[in-house]
Amino acid sequence: MKATEVGAVMTTDVVTVAHGTPLRDVVRALGEHPVGGLPVTDEEDRVIGVVSTSDLARPRPHPWWVLLFGSMPGLGRARTVGDVMTAPAVTVGARATVTEASWLMTGHDVERLPVVDEEERIVGIVTRGDLLQAVLRTDGDIERAVRRDVLGTTLWLTPRALAVAVEDGVVTLTGKLERRSDVDAAVRAASRIDGVVAVVDQLSYRLDDKRPARAATVEAEESVAGT
């Protein structure tokens, strides 16, 4: 099983701005490119923030034309990106799945994520639209993927070994497995399938193989002593 990764759907030709870029240049860049926001990077291409159209539209103590173009007595020069950007930036790695990126966007209420490498240097950008195109699947498609990839590939079970229900991308798993670790593996694998927005765990297990061996032995001895 291999879920779609962010690196497969991201845009690599990214327009960025620096911390000291004047806001007038940001407005110009947003007008020239069909994007709603720009990553802010330092001298080594590390992402330090994001500036979006909503950042520019926030209420200011002075009119926007003063901030962008003018100077009123006592105001000095125009404002820069560093004054209005959102920081720290919410970023994602290229090896993350599109489902993980979607959850990250939802959790932080953002429409785009800068994609970074291990040193936080920008390598691309991914938008909600990019993710939707990648995970656009019907509930039937998701159910078949769960039965094939989770039950078959991950757990080595028959496709009908567990009850699988999918509604609006929410997967519900019901049934009994041999070990507790199998339950964890099933939920984790299902959550990584493209198009899954949540997993409802209604699974039980026969053996708790994640408990310390000593605790399991004591419980067994107490059970025997009480009989």
pLDDT exceeds 50 at position 77: no
Q: What is the pLDDT of residues 194-225, one digit of tens each?
A: 888 889 999 999 999 987 755 555 454 555 55
Contact indicator for 145, 193 with CB cutoff of 8 Å: yes
**Coil vs helix vs strand at 40:** strand
Question: Helix, strand, coil shares of the chain as percentages rounded to 5?
Answer: 40, 25, 35
Residue 126 · residue 115 · CB < 8 Å: yes
CA distance 29 to 31: 5
Task: Give the mean model confidence (pLDDT) for residues 71-84.
Answer: 60
Whether 139 has a pLDDT exceeding 60, the answer reads yes
* pLDDT score for 59: 54
pLDDT at 131 over 90: no
% of the chain residues with pLDDT over 70: 82
**Contact of 126 with 11, CB cutoff 8 Å:** yes
Helices (H), the chain: 6-9, 23-32, 53-56, 64-68, 81-84, 98-108, 128-135, 139-145, 180-191, 213-225
d(CA 118, CA 47): 12
Q: What is the pLDDT of residue 161?
A: 92
Token pair in block for residue 33: 């490119």
How many CA atoms lie within 13 Å of 179's alpha carbon, on the beta-carbon side? 8
